[in-house]
Amino acid sequence: MIKSILIAVMLTFSIASSAQPNEEIELMGQWFAGEYTTTGETLIDAEAGHQVMRIFRIWEDHQDLWLYLEQSSADAPETPHRQWILRIEESQKDLYLMEPHLVPNAEELQGERTAAFIENHVKIDDLGVLGGCEFFIDYDGFVAFSGSTVENFCDTDLREASVLRIKFNLMENKIDWWEQGFSDEGKQQLWGAGKDPQVFRKK
């Protein structure tokens, strides 16, 4: 029932989105794009180890902002454990919605792929939204976009957790990333960041 309400709210936001990407969305796309690493930063989750993240823009002729994201162990960057296609739209004034989508035939897209390769191998209609794992993002107007999933809505089976929570602060040259796995209904944290985030520094 609660998830149905959330979906209805997001559909309302989608209808209210602006006809053209605004300057803040364009800035968000510029800041997201790049290659990131945690190497050289304080390691927050020893079990996960150091990570690398690669993000770049795709389908630039579409109204919304679309991004391809890969996240991998720094020791095995060619075999990502996370591959998302992200769609970002303005949901209402000063609030943005970011939907992560699962990638069909994900293994075919691993490695040093280009935007053209992704666009030729993936159709928007074939994407599946990770329902409940949407991010709501706001911008402070100066140095950071801050986003988070809705608490206890994002299901997962990663490292024996059942609930995934992610928060981030996106800045021009880094992402502060809080990723946490919880037991059923978010009652107990099993792994991930505490008060301090994992810093991903843009290369």
Run means of pLDDT, 10 residues per run, the chain, 203 residues: 48 44 90 98 96 97 95 95 96 92 89 90 93 97 96 93 97 98 92 97 97
Q: Which residue has the tokens 């800041």?
A: 31
Give residue 92's pLDDT.
Answer: 87
Distance CA 146, CA 167 (A): 8
Residue 128, beta-bridge partner list: 102
Give residue 13's pLDDT.
Answer: 45
Q: Is 200 exposed, middle or buried (0-12, 13-18, 19+ CB in 10 A)?
A: buried
The secondary structure of residue 185, as a DSSP letter, is: G
Give residue 171's pLDDT.
Answer: 98
Q: Using the CB atoms, write b or e for 63-85: b if 16+ within 10 Å.
A: ebbbbbbbbbeeeebeebeebbb
**Number of domains present in the structure of the chain:** 1
Give residue 1's pLDDT.
Answer: 52
Show the domain range for 106.
Answer: 2-202
Give residue 11's pLDDT.
Answer: 45
> What global pTM score does this model have?
0.87
Distance CA 160, CA 191 (A): 10
Give residue 9's pLDDT.
Answer: 45
CATH of the domain at 132: 2.40.128.590
C-alpha distances in Å from residue 32, one per residue of 3, 9, 72? 28, 26, 16
